Amino acid sequence: MEARFAARFAGLTPLLRPRSVAVLGASADRLRIGGRPIAYMLERGFRGAILPVNPNRDEIQGLRCYANLAALPEAPDVAIVAVAAERAVAAVEELSAAGARGAIVLTAGFAETGAEGATTQARMREAARASGMRLLGPNCLGLFNAPIGFFPIFSSSFEGGWPLPGRIGIASQSGAFATHLFVVARDRGIGTPVCITTGNEADVTIADAIGWMAQDEGIDVIAVYAEGFRDGDVLRAALDAARAARKPVVLMKVGRSALGQAAASSHTAAIAADDRVTQAVLGEYGVARARSTEELLDIAQLATRRIYPAINTLGVLTVSGGGGVLVADAAEANGIAMPPMPPAAQARLRALIPFAAPANPVDCTAQVFNDFAMVGTFLEETVAGGYTTLLIFFSQVGAAPSIAPRLREHLAALRARHPEVLMVLSILAPAALVADYEALGYTVFADPTRAVVAIGAIGRIGAAFSAGAAAAPPALAPVPLPVASPTEPMAKRLLSRAGIAVGAEEVCATVAQSEAAARRIGLPVVMKIVSPDIAHKSDIGGVVIGVASLDDVARTHTLLLERAASRAPQARIEGVLVARQYAGHELIMGITRDPVFGLIALVGAGGVFAEIMDDVALHSCPFGADVAATMLRSLRCFALLDGARGRAKTDIASLATMLARLSAFAAAAGPRLVAVDLNPVIASAQGAAAVDAVILLRE
C-alpha cells in the first residue's frame, strides 16, 4: 500500500482512540444529543479525559464544564460537535486552530440540504484541512470503540444492551442502519466492538473506515453498508489493505445511479451501468456482496472462523434426505462444488447402514442415533472425503436432550482432529445450546440454505486471498489523440498502432473507388457510411453486409449516401467504408470511464443486440492476458467460443490478447478518453478482428 494511503487511514486513530475528548454542546440531559455521549462514556468507563463545553453550565453529569474551547486545560485529541449548524463551522475552525486532531460533527443541515448547505460544508472541510485535522461527518451518528469505552454517538440503541466482544467492525454511511446492524448482531450474539458512521463524508469516507479497520489488530472482519463511493483510488487502497491483511469485507451496497450524459453515445457505457461497475471492482478484491442484513451478518459471522478455503468443496452430512436435496440445490445455485464421496468410503458407510445414501449429501438417516458410535464414524468418513467445508444438518435432533450431550462429544472430537476444515452446523436449538456448539468451533445456522449462501461467499473470499499476482498488462507508450472524436477508420488506425487487430478496409469517395477497393479486399464485403457525426451507423441503415458483386458495390455506395442524406441530413459525410466481411462469433469489447472508478473494460456477447443479450464481464484497466482470459471464461456465451456442439473453437488466446491491449490502450490514452466501442469483434479459429470501432473523446 502506498505511504499516502497508509497515512490517510492511520489518521483516523485520534477519532477512535483519543486520550481526551471535548463535547461541544454538552448537555446535562442524558437523553439529548449533547448528553448521550457523555453518559455512555461515563457508564462504560472511558479512561480518557471528558471535557464538556457549554457556556451556560459549570458542571455537567458530574464533570467540570468549560465555557468555551479557549478555557480547556488542553487541546483535545478529538471533539464531538453537537451545536447548531450555524455555529458548527466556527467550532471546527476553532478546533483546527487549537490543534485538535479530530472532530466528530453530529450536527445536520449541510450538504444534505442543498447547494447552500454544501457550500457551508466545504468551508468546514477546508478549515479542518488547514491543520490536518480529520473530520467525521457532518450529519453523522458518530462512532463507538467499545473495548475502550469510547462512545461519541447519540443512538438510543444502547438502551437495549451494549456491543458484545467480538472481531467484526461496522462501517456505514448511514447512522441509523449502522445501529440497526449492531442491534441485530447483538441480539444474535455476534460481537461488533467497533462501528464508524460517516454521514455526509466531508472528509472521512467509508473507504477510510475500511482502511483503518484493515490495519486495526482488534478487527478480523469488516461489515459495510454503503450507498455510494466518492474516491475510487482510496477505496481500492482500502480493499487492497484488507485483502493483504486477510480480512474479509462483507458489503451491502444499495442504490443505483446513471453514469452521465456520455452513456447515451456509447454501447459500452450503457451496458456497464453504475452498479455493475461497482460489482466488478468489488469482485477484483474478493469483497462479499450481501443482499440483506441477515445475509451480511451470516457471512461476517462465518468469516470470523478465519478459515478461507482457496478451493471450496462442500461435504454434507444429513439426517434428512429432503434436507440434503435442499442443500445440494443451494450449493449449485451458489457455485459450490459437491464432489461425491470416495467409493471405498461409500462402501464402508453402506456396510453400517444399508439404506443410507452415502454419495454426497451423505444421508445417514436417524438410524445412526441408535448407536452413537456410528455418528462418529459417519462424521469422520465425511470429513475424510477431502472436503474443505463440512455442513452437518441435524435439524431439531441436535437439540434433543437425549442426543445433544453425546453429539457434542463427537463434534468436539471432530473439530479437534480437523482444525483446517470450515465446519457449519444446521440445527434448531435454544440460544444456550447454540452458543455451546459454537464454542466448539462450529458456526450454527437454523436454515441450511442460509448456511450455503455464507459458505459460498467464504469460498469466493478464500479464492481472492489465495490468488497469485496477475500478469503485467501490455506496455504501451502514451497514445496521441486527435482533437475531436475520430471517425471509424481513424479510430481503427489508432487501435492498430496499439496492436489491436482490425479488419482490412478502405474509405472511398466515389463508386469507382469502392469497386476498386472491393476487388483488392475480396468479395463479399461490408459497406458503411463514414461520418464523425454518426456514432451508431446501423441506426440509420448506414451498414450493409454481404455485398457480393461489383454491381452490388456500386448500388450500395449510392444507397448509403442517399440514406445518410435523408436520415441524418446534418451529418458530415466523409465517404463510404468498404471492409472485408469476416465470419465468426460476434463479441463486444469496450472501455467506459466511470466517474468513481475510472477506466473499466468490458467484453461480452456483441452485435446489434449487445444490450439485450446482457452477457458481459468487466474489469478495471489496465490488465494482462490472464485477467482477460478469466473475463472471457466467465461469459455465458463462452461455451460457444470454446467449440460447443461440434463448432470450431475460436482462438481464445488472440481474444484475450486483444482485450488486454485494449485495456492498456485506454490507460495510455490519458484523461480525454471517454469511451471505446469495438462492436462487433469477430472471433474465429483464425484469430479476432475489430470490424467496427467508436472512440469518444472529451474535446
Condensed to tens digits (0 to 9), the pLDDT of residues 576-587 reads: 999 999 989 999
Identify the pLDDT of residue 606. Answer: 84
Q: Is the peptide bond before 524 cis (omega within 30 degrees of 0)?
A: yes
Q: 423 or 273, which is more confident?
A: 423
Q: Which of 579, 580, 581, 562 is nearest to 507 (CA)?
A: 579
pLDDT given at position 612: 65
Identify whether the C-beta of residue 273 lies closer than 8 Å to the C-beta of residue 256: yes
Q: Is the pLDDT of residue 257 over 70?
A: no
Residue 687 has pLDDT above 70, yes or no: yes
pLDDT of residue 16: 98
The superfamily in CATH containing domain 504-580 is ATP-grasp fold, A domain (3.30.1490.20)
Q: Which has the minimum average pLDDT: 138-152, 195-209, 237-251, 355-369?
A: 355-369
Determine the average pLDDT of the residues in 495-502: 94
pLDDT of residue 265: 41
Smallest Cα–Cα separation from 456: which of 282, 298, 335? 335
Backbone phi, then psi, for 177, in 5-degree steps? Answer: -75, -30
pLDDT at position 443:
98
> For the residues 212-216, what does the mean pLDDT come to?
98
What pLDDT, on the 0 to 100 scale, is given for residue 609?
62
**DSSP string for 353-407:** -TT-B-SSSEE--GGGGGSHHHHHHHHHHHHTT--SEEEEEEEGGGG-TTTHHHH
Is the model's pLDDT at 266 over the cut of 80?
A: no
pLDDT at 18: 98
**What is the band of 366 on the pLDDT scale with cuts at 50, 70, 90?**
confident
Structural domain 3-247, CATH architecture: 3-Layer(aba) Sandwich (3.40)
What does the alpha-carbon distance between residue 480 and residue 494 come to, in Å, rounded to a whole number? 9
In this prediction, residue 363 has a pLDDT band, given cuts at 50, 70 and 90, of very high
C-alpha cell of residue 197 = 458512521
- Locate all alpha helices (DSSP H) within 23-152, ordered by sequence: 36-43, 85-98, 115-131
260 by DSSP, 3-state: which?
Answer: coil
DSSP 601-619: EEEEE-STTHHHH--EEEE
Query: pLDDT digits over 124-136, tens only?
Result: 999 999 999 999 9
Alpha-carbon distance 301 to 443, whole Å? 8
Convert the pLDDT of each residue in 143-174 to its tens digit: 999 999 999 999 999 999 999 999 999 999 99
Same fold, 3-247 and 314-466: yes
Q: Is 48 exposed, middle or buried (0-12, 13-18, 19+ CB in 10 A)?
A: middle
pLDDT tens digits for 12-58? 999 999 999 999 999 999 999 999 999 999 999 999 999 999 999 99
* Position 339 pLDDT exceeds 70: yes
Residue 430: the pLDDT is 95
Phi and psi dihedrals of 120, rounded to 5?
Answer: -65, -40
The pLDDT tens digits of the residues spanning 483-492 come to 999 999 999 9
CATH architecture for residues 585-697: 2-Layer Sandwich (3.30)
Sheet strands side by side (includes 543-547):
505-508, 575-580, 525-530, 543-547
| Mean pLDDT along residues 342-361 | 94
- Where do the domains of the chain lie? 3-247, 314-466, 504-580, 585-697
Residue 256's pLDDT band, with cuts at 50, 70 and 90, is: low
Mean pLDDT of 338-344: 97
Please tell me the least confidently modeled range out of 81-95, 220-234, 367-381.
367-381
Going from the C-alpha of 125 to that of each of 21, 138, 421, 442, 569, the distances in angstroms are 20, 10, 49, 47, 51
Pairing assessment for the beta strands 673-684 and 687-690 based on DSSP bridges: antiparallel
**pLDDT of 250 higher than 80:** yes
Where residue 7 falls (left for φ over 0; alpha for ψ -120 to 50; beta otherwise) is: alpha
Cβ–Cβ < 8 Å for 421, 391: no
How far, in Å, CA of 110 to CA of 92, rounded? 14
Side-chain half-sphere of 221: how many Cα atoms within 13 Å? 25
Contact 339, 331 (CB under 8 A): no
On the question of pLDDT at 261 being above 50, the answer is: no
Hey, how many other C-beta atoms are within 10 angstroms of the C-beta on 306?
A: 12
pLDDT(323) > 80:
yes
Q: What pLDDT shows up at residue 254?
A: 85
Q: What is the mean pLDDT of residues 355-377?
A: 91
Select from 299, 301, 253, 680 the least CA-distant residue to 459: 299
- Containing H/E element for 81? strand 78-81
Q: What value does the mean pLDDT take over residues 346-355?
A: 94
622: preceding bond cis by omega (within 30 degrees): yes
Averaged pLDDT of the chain: 93
Note the pTM of the prediction, 2 decimals.
0.92
Instruction: Specify whether the CB–CB gap between 586 and 263 falls below 8 A.
Output: no
Kindly state the cell numbers that stand for 104: 466528530
Q: What is the pLDDT of residues 521-564, one digit of tens each?
A: 999 999 999 999 987 888 899 999 999 999 999 999 999 999 99
> What kind of architecture, by CATH, is found in domain 314-466?
3-Layer(aba) Sandwich (3.40)
Residue indicated by cell numbers 468555551: 68
Query: Rounded mean pLDDT of 421-428?
Result: 97
Q: Which three cell numbers stand for residue 352?
A: 453400517
Ordered DSSP codes for 164-213: PS-SEEEEES-HHHHHHHHHHHHHTT----EEEE-TT-SS--HHHHHHHH
Q: Please name the residues in contact with 371: beta carbons below 8 A apart, sequence gap of 6 or more.
A: none
- pLDDT for 1 equals 79
Strand partners, 134: 102
- pLDDT at position 267: 44
The span from the CA of 367 to the CA of 352, in Å, is 10
- Rg over CA atoms, the chain: 31
Answer yes or no: are the C-beta atoms of 247 and 221 closer than 8 Å: yes
Of 149-158, 225-234, 248-257, minimum mean pLDDT range: 248-257
Confidence tier at 274 by pLDDT (50, 70, 90): confident
Strands 585-594 and 598-605: antiparallel
pLDDT bucket at 494, cuts 50 / 70 / 90: very high
How far apart CA 674 and CA 545 sit, in angstroms, is 29
Q: What's residue 372's pLDDT? A: 84
